[in-house]
Copies of this chain bind each other. A is one copy, B any other.
Amino acid sequence: MRPRIGLMQTDSAPRTEPITRPTLADVAARAGVSASTASLAFSGSGPVSDATKARVLAAASELGYAGPDPRGRSLRRGRSGIVGVVLEERVRAAFLDPVKIQTLDGITEGIAPLGAGLLLFTDTGEEGGNAVGIESAPVDAVVLIGCSPRLAHSVEALRRRGIPAVAIEGSAGEDILQISIDNRDATRRGAEYLRGLGHTEVALVTLPFDAARTRGPLTPELERGSTVDTASERLLGAREVFPHATGRVAATSSIEEGLEAGRALLADPATRPTAIIAQSDLLAAGVLQAADELGVAVPAELSVLGFDGIRVDGLQHDLTTLVQPSVAKGRAAGEAVVRLLAGEPPASVQFTSTLHIGDTTAPPAR
């Protein structure tokens, strides 16, 4: 029996504008409706007459109200509309890798139906400080790209909090959904192709095996201490065909690193391999540059096999490589996130790579 105030009693009195921004309640009061109604008018998820809605919108406009506060909304809804992406390195380094970019692009495609934003994190190892880590970020889900077991602690926090996670190319944990490719099998097929051509003296240029990104000769110690599945799997695939193959470890997937590794492997004509298996196209491109520098003819004197199937700008060769569906991988991860958030438990996905035969491989010269 609350006395309804006279209709005509407008709050014409110029009340002092408070320092605080207007809230939905203010708008509702101004429009003469309840906060609930005003909320419905904005979210459109309930029956509100057009007249009322117009009145609310008008009040909002007069008050300079810019729409519901995303913070309050996400608290109430339990969803923030943000998906976290964890990269293993710092932003600059991560985005120099075309595969990562393509994957990221695929993710945006995959989560498009969510209309969610992408929040970038880097697995810098140092979780301390005031930094907003994965552990304490308002994300609805997380995609881990090539992440090391170092994240186990954070992943555990995600699990506790009930935040779904999807891992691309990395063993983040037992119960984490995996999106991967046939690293091992694909490399084996590539290696078999080289063997079929007649190669026996094969060297490797691998991706880094640990977070320290040690560069140098490929040693059993490094292999054993590997925390990077991608590198290990591709190595194992090559070893299935060339059990004693060895080579160099690059610090990162880049042309420069490939160049350096290529110089080391090709420097001595006496020990020079007839073929090099690089674990990424960028590394392969670097090896090709090294061969060019040293006057080693490709493919006559040296065959080079890559991995990824990216376009390397400025490369003169048509690289023989294992083409992997980077974008599709990202998209699958995005779609998996969507399903997880919808409550449907999706299955892990394994993509396959295809061998593209270009002009950087041929039978050995000897």
Contact = CB atoms under 8 A, between A and B. Distances in A.
A96 interface: yes
Interface stretch (A75-83, A164-172, A173-181, A195-203): A75-83
A105 B114 CA distance: 27
State the number of copies, please.
2
B71 A80 contact: yes
Contacts of A67: 135-136, 157, 161
Interface residues of A, number: 56
A78 B69 CA distance: 10
A61 to B, nearest CB: 10
Interface stretch (A2-10, A50-58, A125-133, A182-190): A125-133
A137 interface: yes
Contact of A66 (B121, B135, B256): B135
A95 B117 CA distance: 16
A12 to B, nearest CB: 23
Where chain A touches its partner, the secondary structure class is: mixed
A122 B115 CA distance: 12
Interface of A: 21, 64-68, 70-75, 78, 80-82, 84, 90-92, 95-96, 101-102, 104-105, 108, 114-122, 129-132, 135-138, 157, 160-162, 255-256, 285, 289, 312-315
A105 B132 contact: no
A333 to B, nearest CB: 14
A70 B312 CA distance: 42
A161 B20 CA distance: 10
Nearest to A70: B138
Contacts of A137: 70, 81-82, 117
Contacts of A21: 160-162
A121 to B, nearest CB: 6
A95 B285 CA distance: 20
A120 B121 contact: no
Contacts of A162: 21
A162 B67 CA distance: 12
18 contacts: A65-B160, A67-B157, A70-B136, A70-B137, A70-B138, A90-B105, A90-B108, A91-B101, A91-B104, A95-B101, A115-B130, A119-B119, A255-B313, A255-B314, A256-B313, A289-B314, A312-B314, A313-B313
